[in-house]
Amino acid sequence: MSEMLIKFVKMQGAGNDYVYVDCFTERTPVDPAALAPRIADRHFGVGGDGLVLVQPSAVAAARMRMFNADGSESEMCGNGVRCVAHLAVARGHAPEGMITIETGRGVLAVDVRRSGPRGSVVRVGMGEPILVAADIPVTVPAGNDAHVVNVPCSAVAAEAAWMVEAGLDRRMTCVSMGNPHVVFYCRDVAAVPLEQVGPTVERHPIFPRRINVHFVQVLAADRVRMRTWERGSGITMACGTGASAVCVAGVLTGHTDRRIIAEVPGGALTLEWDGQGEVFMTGPAEEVFEGVWPLENRA
Residues serving a catalytic function are 77, 239
CB 9, CB 20: distance < 8 Å: yes
Q: Nearest 5°: CA angle at 90, between 120 and 73?
A: 80
Distance CA 50, CA 36 (A): 6
CB 44, CB 77: distance < 8 Å: no
CB 199, CB 193: distance < 8 Å: no
Helix (H, G, I), strand (E, B) or coil at 166: helix
CB 17, CB 11: distance < 8 Å: yes
Q: Which helix (H) or strand (E) holds 201?
A: helix 194-202
CB 76, CB 101: distance < 8 Å: no
Diameter of the chain by CA atoms? 62
